[in-house]
Amino acid sequence: MGCGASVNNANNSAAPSPSKKKQTDDNEQGRSVRWKVMPSAEEARGKYEADGTLVKSNDAGHLELRTLLEEPMAQNYIGIFAKENQSQECFMCWIDLQEFKSIPTDDYRRSKALHIYHKYIKAGAVLELGFIENTDREHYKDVLDLSKDDSKLLGPNVFDKVQMTCFYEMYQNVFLRFKLSPRYAELQQILKQVYNKVKLDDFEFLGKLGEGGFGLVVHCKKASTNRHYAMKIQTKKGLLECFADDPWRVGYEKNAFASCQHPFIVNLDYAFQNETLVIMVLGLATAGDLQFAINSSPEERISEERTQFYVAEIILALAHLHAMGLMYRDLKPNNVLLCADGHIQLVDMGGVVDHDGKTLGLKNQELSMYPLFARTFGPGTESETSTSQPTTASNKRRMSIMGTFGYMAPEMVIMMSQSHGEKSGYTNAVDWWSLGVTMYKLLTGVKPFDNDNAITSYLESKMSFFAPGGVHYSPEYLMLFRDIYIPDYMSSNAADLINGLLDVNENTRLGSGAAGLQKLKKHAFFEGIEWERLEQKHLIPPFIPEAPKLQEKSQYPDFDTMMAALGKTDWLEDKPHKDEHKFFESWDFIAPSTLKMEFGIAHEMSQYDGNFKVRQILGDKGGGGPAAAQNNAKSTRNG
């Protein structure tokens, strides 16, 4: 079971008394806080000046505010104060811009830039910032217009001037007044105890969601924000044993989640550790996965309207990964979660591979553990092949086998019957094949290449056609060459898209190559999809699931009691060798998106994002086909 499993599976049994004393202070538990530690004020100032969030100045107050904006407890205090004084707009803009700067891919960055322009900068914007000059407004509009043909024009620092002005407004109108209030003194006392920490005591524990060999997932809630999460808990010793050949890879899955912040990929908000455990706090999806959606549909298949929407969001998620040089490799309905708001998210990043190590920090190495809770065909040894063309993220060839039978592309399946010298590897085109299989299953309820005896016999009888020269190919490989059955209820556009994705030639497969993504987005099946609005979740989903009501009451008084109730007390005592803590030094992480939650203004920001004016991200009310017309009609009614 994945981290987004339904909370209906929570263990609500009564909690026994703790079997051991409360865990000691985090510093005694060997946890690392290197992600935020600053040796000196000078180094802190240098970091913020370098990233464009602080100008060179001798004002110590500016540095103090900028530093506090990194601390969750301070974010919460300052955010509440700003809300009470009705001075939230600059905070909201600063937070959005901070998220914008953290986006690593060009297309997603452009969609976020459009969101920011129409929300804060454009004349008449729903949260228009009055301090922006008209000449600057025109400048940003021109840059956005030019970037439509070349999204690389929008670098992460394009809005630095706006962000810096927001910072000054925050400092003058909020922070100086906040420092004179009793809450500032209260915050200073608290920070002496909790600064640089996200810890187990910050969460309430509501039940078990799933379990693996050396890890489990529990439903939890962060006390300061009341936000629900799936907390993935793994033992350090278990990870070290799994990565015994190269223990520096223990943070592989965490690095993948942390690097791939995207609306349609399950978000990692926090990662931290104690002496025996490493913990990831991930977004909680309460409406199950797309396989559950198929099973619970009256005809055990999903409508084309819903399928169009889900497949479009999956494309944006895969494109984001590919732009970062990553392959997902295990796409299937079980790995696509359906959220309560009707949008989807990819989950389980254990199979993600980095084509050259730049994103995840690994070079020429392959993940050697199976994803926790995933039933996959496990990876083997990894190497690279040379190509006659320049090596890019899209043509880098991998040699390991990773995925799920029935969803794996031909170029990966054939490797199962080849010796190492015969293998030619595969590229990120395998993800587009898996998307074709996933789309077919959403529309029909079955996979296009189920391995039944009749199909196998037929393929074996045609062996000479597929295997000239007497070369033997496995039935699992050969069946991928048969014609796909298209039911009468499937539209011609849907059938054409599936056939394009299930092209056995990876070079001509829809989605592959330099222009493959744009060709895929322009396919007739996606008529009505406005991709930039969709990537900011500004299109209304065609279906809102009936998600179960979240449990709010903690089932256990503390973490140790929960672990005892789940029979995991030994996990709290099984310490790695002191020399092995170094492999977890970079584990700790806090996502930029948590700013709005800790500020206490996430609800207000989502309300503004849902406003009709904001949803018209392209600046017009119509156009784009039936889906766009439907969304515009809904927007008008809800605006």
Q: What is the pLDDT, as a whole number, of residue 459?
A: 42
Higher pLDDT, 394 or 419: 419
Residue at token pair 């965490």: 254
Task: Please report, for the domain that includes residue 135, its CATH number.
Answer: 1.10.167.10
Same-domain check for residues 145 and 264: no
Q: Locate the DSSP E strands across 306-413.
A: 326-327, 336-338, 344-346, 353-354
Report which of 267, 377, 365, 297 is spatially closest to residue 332, judged by C-alpha positions: 377
Record the tokens describing residue 236, joined without a space.
Answer: 């350090």
Q: Is the pLDDT of residue 316 over 90?
A: yes
Same-domain check for residues 203 and 69: no
Q: Is residue 106 part of a domain?
A: yes
Do the beta carbons of residue 368 and residue 355 sit within 8 Å?
no
Task: Tell me the C-alpha distance between 120 and 166, whole Å.
Answer: 11
Same-domain check for residues 84 and 191: yes
Task: Tell me the C-alpha distance between 158 and 268, whole Å.
Answer: 26
Same-domain check for residues 497 and 359: yes
Residue at token pair 């796909």: 484
Q: How far is CA 154 from CA 116, 141, 149, in A?
A: 13, 12, 11
Task: Tell me the C-alpha distance between 542 and 306, whole Å.
Answer: 6
Number of domains in the chain: 3
pLDDT digits (tens, 9 = 90+) for 98-119: 889 989 899 999 999 999 999 9
Task: Tell me the C-alpha distance between 237 and 240, whole Å.
Answer: 5
Beta strand 344-346 with 336-338 is antiparallel
Same-domain check for residues 259 and 298: no
pLDDT digits (tens, 9 = 90+) for 358-392: 556 543 333 322 222 222 333 333 333 333 344 45
Mean predicted confidence (pLDDT) in 232-260? 88
Which pTM was predicted? Answer: 0.76
Q: How far is CA 87 from CA 93, 173, 176, 279, 600, in A?
A: 11, 8, 13, 35, 13
Q: What is the pLDDT, as a whole number, of residue 527?
A: 96
Q: For residue 52, what is the DSSP state?
A: T
Same-domain check for residues 421 and 294: yes
- What is the phi/psi pair of residue 403, to 5°? 150, -160
pLDDT band at 611 (very low <50, low <70, confident <90, very high): low
Q: Is residue 6 part of a domain?
A: no
Higher pLDDT, 534 or 71: 534
Report percent pLDDT > 70 for the chain: 75
Q: Where are the alpha helices (DSSP H) in 351-491?
A: 410-413, 429-444, 453-461, 463-466, 475-478
Task: Please report, for the domain that includes residue 214, its CATH number.
Answer: 3.30.200.20
Record the tokens describing residue 320, joined without a space.
Answer: 């984001």
DSSP SS3 for 326 = strand
DSSP SS3 for 221 = strand
Same-domain check for residues 208 and 237: yes
Do the beta carbons of residue 288 and residue 338 sit within 8 Å?
yes
Cα torsion for 73, 75, 77, 81, to the nearest 10°?
Answer: 180
Q: Is the pLDDT of residue 203 over 80?
A: yes
Same-domain check for residues 405 and 443: yes
**Letter for the amino acid at 242?**
C
Q: What is the pLDDT, as a whole number, of residue 354?
A: 78
Least confident of 42-46, 88-92, 357-361: 357-361
Q: Is residue 541 part of a domain?
A: no
Same-domain check for residues 121 and 234: no
- What is the phi/psi pair of residue 133, to 5°? -70, 150
DSSP SS3 for 153 = helix
DSSP SS3 for 590 = strand
Q: Is the pLDDT of residue 333 over 90?
A: yes
Task: Tell me the C-alpha distance between 301 and 624, whole Å.
Answer: 27
Same-domain check for residues 211 and 355: no
Q: Is residue 43 part of a domain?
A: no
Q: For residue 377, what is the DSSP state?
A: B
Report percent pLDDT > 90 for the chain: 44
Q: What contacts 243, CB < 8 A, 6 or more positions away? A: 249, 250, 252, 368, 369
Task: Tell me the C-alpha distance between 282 and 263, whole Å.
Answer: 13
Q: Is residue 249 part of a domain?
A: yes
* Residue 518 CB neighbour total at 10 angstroms: 12
Q: Is the pLDDT of residue 597 over 70?
A: yes
**Rounded (to 5) percent helix, strand, coil in the chain:** 45, 10, 45
Q: Report the range out of 36-40, 427-431, 591-595 with the highest average pLDDT.
A: 427-431
Measured N-to-C along each axis, helices 626-638 and 304-323 cross at an angle, to the nearest 10 degrees, of 100
Q: Is residue 19 part of a domain?
A: no
Least confident of 175-179, 382-386, 527-531, 604-608: 382-386
Least confident of 6-20, 226-240, 544-558: 6-20
Task: Please report, for the domain that includes residue 434, its CATH number.
Answer: 1.10.510.10
Task: Tell me the C-alpha distance between 128 and 425, whole Å.
Answer: 52
Same-domain check for residues 512 and 582: no
Q: What is the pLDDT, as a whole number, of residue 40?
A: 66
Task: Tell me the C-alpha distance between 330 and 346, whole Å.
Answer: 10
Q: Residue 337: in which H helix or E strand, if any?
A: strand 336-338
Domain ranges, residue 221: 199-285+568-587
Higher pLDDT, 477 or 185: 185
Q: What is the pLDDT, as a whole number, of residue 466?
A: 43
Report which of 522, 539, 520, 526 is spatially closest to residue 629, judged by C-alpha positions: 539
pLDDT digits (tens, 9 = 90+) for 465-488: 444 444 556 777 777 778 889 999
Record the tokens describing residue 293, joined without a space.
Answer: 């959606």
Same-domain check for residues 437 and 304: yes
Q: Residue 74: in which H helix or E strand, if any?
A: helix 72-84
Helix (H) and strand (E) counts for the chain? Answer: 26, 10
Q: What is the pLDDT, as a whole number, of residue 348?
A: 85
Do the beta carbons of residue 587 and residue 271 sit within 8 Å?
yes
Q: Is the pLDDT of residue 618 over 80?
A: no
Q: Is the pLDDT of residue 461 over 60?
A: no
Least confident of 99-103, 138-142, 597-601: 597-601
Q: What is the pLDDT, as a whole number, of residue 471?
A: 53
Task: Tell me the C-alpha distance between 418 and 385, whole Å.
Answer: 15
Q: Is residue 498 part of a domain?
A: yes
Cα torsion for 23, 27, 29, 33, to the nearest 10°?
Answer: 120
Q: Is residue 152 part of a domain?
A: yes
Task: Tell me the C-alpha distance between 480 and 413, whole Å.
Answer: 9
Task: Tell me the C-alpha distance between 608 and 245, whole Å.
Answer: 50
